[in-house]
Amino acid sequence: MKPEFSLLLLLSIIVFGAITVTNAGGGAPGGGGLRPNFYRFTRCPQAEMLVKALTIRKVRSDPTLAPKLLRVHYHDCFVKGCDASILLDTVGTNQSEKDARPNQTLGGFEAIDDIKAQVEKACPGIVSCADILALAARDAVSFPFGRNLWEVPTGRRDSRVSLISDVNGNLPSPFSDFPTLQQLFAKKNLNVNDLVALSGAHTIGVAHCGAFSRRLFNFTGKGDMDPSLDATYAGTLKQQCPNPANPATTVGMDPQSSRSFDTHYFTILNQKKGLFQSDAALLTNAVSAAIVNRLQFPRNFFFEFGRSMVNMGNIEVLTGTAGEIRKNCRVINPLA
């Protein structure tokens, strides 16, 4: 079967449903220009179905792509908004967001490059990299369920700026305590419910040892272990990540369930098995701890995660004539 025919066939049989999620109670500023099915009334009405088909093809061959794309989308939105600035490469001495330490372990960029190239062939100059990233993250996570887990309003445009200096102070860290997390989310007009629900993304994917090794070997600078971490689990982690941490070694963020997008993350939090200090921090506040308990139920988690993804996807977006529609997600368009 020719690749072109197989893609058209895949497009024709995708019939995913969607959980319609509104932006009530915590929407981020700048999202007013987004709307469902934005591209339906453009010269690329098939845009979202095309992105879905291409994403599904990639996830089928590489299931690890879902957490990678979800993390890239998250890192993009928290720094200057969901504008695909995370996708821009460094040019000369002007270091981009990609070069910031928290972003050096991101993956999935090549998948976005390929999806964008295919979309450009079908509809040149219409579909933004920012929308492709938001859609691909949703489609990759949703694929095993056979339906969309959240709605992605579209109409984003791409930034022409990406600065390494913008990352610090905007991106939540795995070392953050609860007050710091709450403050960072509030800066994006996201509330505690969003904080806990979005932390549920840690149910899939892996982390590098350096993101949590301090909890195992030198938590307070005295060669001690974080007392909020289950001792047996800590012993397992020490075997996987001996000191000093090997930068190439990774472990699943959700023990025994890191390939399944489910509520297991919230269960292990209450067992003191959250991998990061920022995970354990969710239990140090009465409100967030209560939300952790509520989100152990799948119906609650999927609804709240979907709503919070819409809220996050609205952060400081560029719409209308702001920004541009990049031809290549890694570089800005040349000025006319």
User: What is the model's pLDDT at position 241?
Assistant: 97
* 258 appears as a binding residue in the annotation: no
- Would you place residue 256 in the very low, low, confident or very high pLDDT band (cuts 50, 70, 90)? confident
User: What is the model's pLDDT at position 19?
Assistant: 34
Average confidence score pLDDT of the chain: 91
User: What is the model's pLDDT at position 33?
Assistant: 87
pTM of the complete model beyond 0.75: yes
User: Residues 50-91: pLDDT tens digits?
Assistant: 999 999 999 999 999 999 999 999 999 999 999 999 999 999
Work out the average pLDDT over 162-173. Answer: 96
Nearest Cα residue to 325 out of 135, 137, 130: 130
User: What is the model's pLDDT at position 336?
Assistant: 76
Nearest Cα residue to 142 out of 257, 18, 264: 18
Active site residue 73: no
**Distance from C-alpha of 157 to C-alpha of 329, rounded to nearest angstrom:** 11
**Distance from C-alpha of 331 to C-alpha of 89, rounded to nearest angstrom:** 6
**Distance from C-alpha of 138 to C-alpha of 123, rounded to nearest angstrom:** 21
Work out the average pLDDT over 202-230. Answer: 96
Work out the average pLDDT over 119-144. Answer: 98
Question: Domain map of the chain by residue range?
Answer: 46-205+253-313
Cis-peptide, bond into residue 244, ω within 30° of zero: yes
* 172 appears as a binding residue in the annotation: yes
* 89 appears as a binding residue in the annotation: no
* 254 appears as a binding residue in the annotation: yes
User: Residues 257-305: pLDDT tens digits?
Assistant: 999 999 999 999 999 999 999 999 999 999 999 999 999 999 999 999 9
The third-level CATH classification (topology) of the domain covering 46-205+253-313 is Peroxidase; domain 1 (1.10.520)
Is 53 in contact with 7 (CB distance < 8 Å)?
Answer: yes
H-helix segments, 83-199: 109-122, 129-142, 178-187, 192-199
With the C-alpha atoms ordered 122, 124, 126, 129, is the resulting torsion angle positive or negative? positive
With the C-alpha atoms ordered 106, 112, 114, 116, is the resulting torsion angle positive or negative? negative
The residue among 217 and 31 whose pLDDT is bigger is 217
* 236 appears as a binding residue in the annotation: no
Catalytic residue among 73, 75, 208, 264: 75
Could you give the percent of the chain with pLDDT greater than 70?
90
User: Residues 97-110: pLDDT tens digits?
Assistant: 999 999 999 999 99
The residue among 147 and 14 whose pLDDT is bigger is 147
- Would you place residue 114 in the very low, low, confident or very high pLDDT band (cuts 50, 70, 90)? very high
* 141 appears as a binding residue in the annotation: no
* 85 appears as a binding residue in the annotation: yes
Nearest Cα residue to 64 out of 206, 253, 274: 206
User: Residues 218-227: pLDDT tens digits?
Assistant: 999 999 999 9
* 279 appears as a binding residue in the annotation: no
Residue 22 has pLDDT above 50, yes or no: no
Work out the average pLDDT over 128-139. Answer: 98
